Structure formats: structure tokens, C-alpha cells
């Protein structure tokens, strides 16, 4: 995906994620992980390298808006984006449900990794409670939101891939 | 002189005139019956004529009414907007009055008002971002309050904004004091926007409904700021300490404005 399109999309998703966090705060603890979903979508569409790069960028944007340790989001999203790239191995036999499954699974893995890094930085969690109260509801929310993120990323990916014009 | 037809016409006219002017009683009754029969018809016809007349008037005034309707609609919209503005101003006024009262009650504290501009994008951390930073005199470790009580402390600080770790975050710890009984303990953040006060001596008597404020122990926060109210007490003889669950004094989910205590810096920033 062209960085000229991908970066604005990530910045937009970061802003939207922050706005949703602000808006949802009085009613629920749930937070949509839009940047993570974008990283997963990039991994699924472009392979593990694309997942790694776009995941790192998404993580960096997340860290800039978070009170957590700088770099924790970057590491976790890069790792999850990279792992999502393994889903591309399906190639032509791409399953339409794969993005949804990947979104749910990636959210759980991401939350566990992020909790681990927060623990190392002085935050304290009851892991079982955090999985039950944060990771699983977030995974369900990601499952619902994935089509809304995957659609635009898919469109941008096929609309303006680097080298597309050169190959013509 | 008169033809037969002429005489008949004159006679008929005379009889009619006589009936009208002389008013034979029998005829009076007939008139009454006729009125009974005719009045509903007259009323209906009169009503119909009234409706037709109204429709005609309306049609002629349609343009005028349309203009008036539009003007009234605009007026209603304007009044509705003004009403919302007034409600918002009342809310802001209430907040400012509360802040002013808090400042009067705590003249020893220098307070810097700030707006909440963002919230943490993940639920694993409870934090907010405020629109005041280094340039305004905010520093890491400073206490953040509202007139209702303790909000948290500044965790990160940039030139134009700062991140405040809320008292409900799992990394937050505050030295607390129960107002009645003076029982001391450490207050930790926990999930579900509640607090846990630990290490309360078994001999101290604490009850549900009592208020807990910040203590000067540890020097992390100015003393006397309300932290929360006890909603549950866990006391077991086999355990060395009591534990209490607190409901935060401040509704942290709906924060809009806060105040940074710039006159107090913690002894040690953890």
C-alpha cells in the first residue's frame, strides 16, 4: 500500500479510536482497537513484512496517544501484524471469514502481549480477570468492527500498491 | 273590470297577507314546526358556507401563512438552540463556582484549571490527557483534582499537554486516611472503576459509608483531598489486615475539567 494513502488512513483511525474512547467512556469500558485491526488487515493483504511495517507504524501512533510506556504498542502491533501475515499463506484459497477470525485472535494475542509489557513497566494485572474483562470483550468487538476496517484497507491496497504503475 | 284570474290572484294575496299579519294561532304552530325542521339544515348550510369561506380566506392568505410558518419555525429553532446554550452555560457556571469554592477552601493550594481533551485508547490503562503542559507549569507527579476530590497524578508531561494517571488505574497507589477513626491504609486502583484500600490495621474500626481522604504519609499527595467512600469492608480474623472497597469521590468516566495542584510536588515520584 502506498504510504501516501496508508499513513493518512492510520492517522484517521488513530483519531477515530481516540474519539470513540472519549465518547464511549461514560457508558462502557470497551475500547475499539481500530489501529490493531488495520495492522492485521495489512498483514493479511501484504504478508508478514507489510504486517510488520504497518503494525509498527500503527503501534507508534497508538503509543503517542497513550499513557503507557512508549514502544509497547509498537512492539505488540508489529508482532501481531507480522503474525497476521501468515494468514496470507492461504493464497488463492483465501477464506472470506479469515479476516474476522484473524481479528479476534490477533486482539487476544495483542492484549496478552501488551499486558505483559505493562506488567514489566510497573502496572499490575490479575491476568485471568484482565483476559475475561478486557481481552475477550475486545476480541468480540474486533470481530464486529473488522469488516469496517478491512474494507477500506483492502480497497486502498488494490487501488494504489507501490509498483503497480511501474509494472504496467 | 277584473278578469276571473285577476280576482283569484288578489284573493290569494289577501289570504296570504292575512295569514302573515293576523297570525292565526294554528299558523304559529306551523311556523314553529317549520323552524324545527329547517334550523338544522340552515345550521349545516351555514357551517358549510363558513368552511368554504374559511378555505377561501386560507387560500388567499396561503403565501402569508407560509411565510409566518417559516418565521415561527426559525424562531423555535433559535429558542431551542438558546435553551441548549443556557443549559451548557449553567453547567459550566456550576463547575466554575465549585472550582472557586474549592480554591477558597484551600487557599494554600495553587490550582491550574485544565480541560480533558482525550482518554486512553485502551482499557488496560486508566488515564486522561489534559490541555496544560510544561509551558503552563505542569510537572510530572503533580496532583490533579476536581472540587469533588482526587483525580490522579501527572504521569507524562509535554509542552502543551499532559497525561494524568487516574486514581483507578492499576499502577496508582495513594496513602489514605479514613476521616472518622483515622484508620490508615494504601489505596490502589482496580478494574470496574473502583478502589481498594489495603493494609488497614485489624484494630481500626471502619464502616461502610465513611469517607477516605489523602494522607500526608509518603508525601505523594497533599493531605485532606477526598478519595472515595467505603462501600464494602472485608475483615477476617485470620488475615493481618482489613481491606475496604471504595467508590471514587469523582465520577472519572465523565470528567470534563480538572485542576492541577501546581504548589505541591511529591517527595518522591514512583
Question: How far are the Cα atoms of B142, B260, B267 from residue B132, in angstroms, in the given order?
Answer: 12, 9, 22
ipTM of this model? 0.80
Q: Which residues of B231-248 are buried (b: 16+ CB within 10 A; e: fewer)?
A: eebeeeeeeebbbbbbeb
Residue A38 CA to its chain's centroid (Å): 5
**Chain A interface disruption, residue of B123, B186, B192, most A CBs within 10 A:** B123
Tell me: pLDDT of B166 over 90: yes
- Nearest chain B CA: its distance from A45 CA (Å): 25
Which of these CATH numbers, 2.40.160.60, 3.40.50.300, 1.10.3430.10, 1.10.1760.20, describes A3-162? 1.10.1760.20
pLDDT for the residue A165:
43
Instruction: Give CA separation, B199 vs A124, B213, B257, in Å.
Output: 17, 15, 32
Retrieve residue A134's grid coordinates: 478486557
The pLDDT-based confidence of B263 (bands split at 50, 70, 90) is confident
The CATH T-level fold of domain B111-261 is: Thrombin, subunit H (2.40.10)
Phi, psi of B96 (to 5 degrees): -65, -40
Q: Which residue has the cell 512508549?
A: A70
pLDDT in the model for residue A112: 92
Residue B159 scores a pLDDT above 70: yes
Average pLDDT for chain A: 84
Cα angle A113-A117-A119, degrees, rounded to a multiple of 5: 115
> Residues with Cβ < 8 Å from B183, sequence gap 6 or more?
B177, B200, B201, B204, B205, B206
Cell numbers for B231 = 462501600
pLDDT at position A166 is 40
Asked whether the beta carbons of residue B123 and residue A138 sit closer than 8 angstroms, the reply is yes
> What pLDDT shows up at residue B23?
56
Where in chain A are the domains? 3-162
What is the C-alpha separation between A72 and A96, in angstroms, rounded?
A: 31
In this complex, which of A30, A67, A130 lies closest to B127 when CB atoms are compared?
Answer: A67
Mean of the pLDDT values across residues B81-102? 78
pLDDT digits (tens, 9 = 90+) for A146-156: 999 998 888 88
Query: Residues B221, B175: contact at Cβ < 8 Å?
Result: yes
pLDDT, position B104: 73
Banded pLDDT at B80 (limits 50, 70, 90): confident
- Cα distance from B118 to chain A (closest Cα, Å)? 6
CA B269/CA B219 separation, integer angstroms? 9
Least CB–CB distance from B121: residue in A31, A125, A129: A31
List, for residues B8-57, the tens digit of each pLDDT value. Answer: 888 888 777 766 665 555 555 655 666 666 667 666 766 666 666 677 77
CA B189 to each of CA A52, B63, B192, B214, B228: distance values in angstroms, whole numbers, following the listed order:
34, 66, 9, 14, 11
Distance CA(B37)–CA(A157), nearest Å, equals 87
pLDDT value at position B38?
Answer: 64
pLDDT digits (tens, 9 = 90+) for B102-145: 777 777 778 899 999 988 888 888 899 999 999 999 999 999 99
Q: Where are the domains of chain B?
A: 1-105, 111-261
**CB proximity B127 to A under 8 Å:** yes
Amino acid at each position: 500500500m502506498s504510504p501516501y494513502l496508508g499513513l493518512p488512513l492510520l492517522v484517521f483511525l488513530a483519531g477515530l479510536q481516540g474519539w470513540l474512547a472519549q465518547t464511549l467512556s461514560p457508558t462502557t469500558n470497551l475500547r475499539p482497537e481500530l489501529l490493531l485491526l488495520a495492522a492485521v488487515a495489512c498483514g493479511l493483504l501484504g504478508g508478514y513484512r507489510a504486517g510488520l511495517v504497518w503494525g509498527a507504524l500503527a503501534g507508534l501512533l497508538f503509543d503517542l496517544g497513550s499513557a503507557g510506556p512508549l514502544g509497547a504498542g509498537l512492539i505488540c502491533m508489529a508482532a501481531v501484524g507480522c503474525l497476521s501475515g501468515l494468514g496470507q499463506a492461504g493464497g488463492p484459497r483465501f477464506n472470506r471469514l479469515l479476516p474476522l477470525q484473524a481479528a479476534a485472535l490477533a486482539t487476544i494475542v495483542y492484549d496478552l502481549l501488551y499486558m505483559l509489557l505493562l506488567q514489566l513497566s510497573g502496572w499490575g494485572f490479575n491476568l485471568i480477570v484482565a483476559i475475561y474483562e478486557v481481552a475477550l470483550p475486545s476480541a468480540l468487538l474486533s470481530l464486529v468492527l473488522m469488516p469496517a476496517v478491512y474494507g477500506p484497507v483492502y480497497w486502498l491496497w488494490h487501488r494504489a500498491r507501490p509498483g503497480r504503475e511501474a509494472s504496467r | 273590470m277584473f278578469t276571473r284570474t285577476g280576482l283569484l290572484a288578489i284573493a290569494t294575496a289577501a289570504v296570504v297577507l292575512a295569514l302573515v299579519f293576523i297570525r292565526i294561532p294554528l299558523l304559529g304552530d306551523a311556523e314553529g314546526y317549520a323552524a324545527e325542521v329547517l334550523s338544522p339544515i340552515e345550521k349545516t348550510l351555514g357551517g358549510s358556507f363558513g368552511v368554504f369561506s374559511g378555505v377561501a380566506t386560507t387560500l388567499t392568505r396561503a403565501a402569508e401563512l407560509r411565510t409566518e410558518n417559516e418565521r415561527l419555525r426559525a424562531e423555535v429553532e433559535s429558542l431551542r438552540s438558546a435553551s441548549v446554550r443556557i443549559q451548557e452555560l449553567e453547567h459550566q457556571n456550576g463547575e466554575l463556582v465549585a472550582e472557586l469554592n474549592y480554591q477558597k477552601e484551600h487557599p494554600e493550594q495553587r490550582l491550574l484549571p485544565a480541560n480533558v481533551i482525550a482518554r486512553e485508547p485502551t482499557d488496560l490503562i486508566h488515564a486522561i490527557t489534559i490541555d496544560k503542559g510544561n509551558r503552563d507549569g505542569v510537572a510530572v507527579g503533580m496532583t490533579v483534582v476536581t472540587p469533588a476530590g482526587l483525580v490522579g497524578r501527572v504521569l507524562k508531561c509535554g509542552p502543551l499537554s499532559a497525561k494524568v494517571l487516574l486514581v483507578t488505574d492499576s499502577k496508582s497507589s495513594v496513602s489514605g486516611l479514613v476521616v472518622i477513626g483515622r484508620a490508615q491504609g494504601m489505596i490502589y486502583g482496580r478494574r470496574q472503576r473502583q478502589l481498594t484500600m489495603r493494609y488497614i490495621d485489624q484494630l481500626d474500626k471502619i464502616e461502610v459509608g465513611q469517607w477516605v481522604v489523602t494522607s500526608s504519609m509518603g508525601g505523594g499527595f497533599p493531605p485532606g483531598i477526598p478519595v472515595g467512600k467505603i462501600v464494602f469492608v472485608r475483615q477476617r480474623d485470620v488475615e493481618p489486615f482489613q481491606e475496604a472497597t471504595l467508590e471514587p469521590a469523582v465520577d472519572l468516566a465523565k470528567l470534563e475539567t480538572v485542576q492541577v495542584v501546581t504548589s505541591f510536588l511529591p517527595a518522591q515520584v514512583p
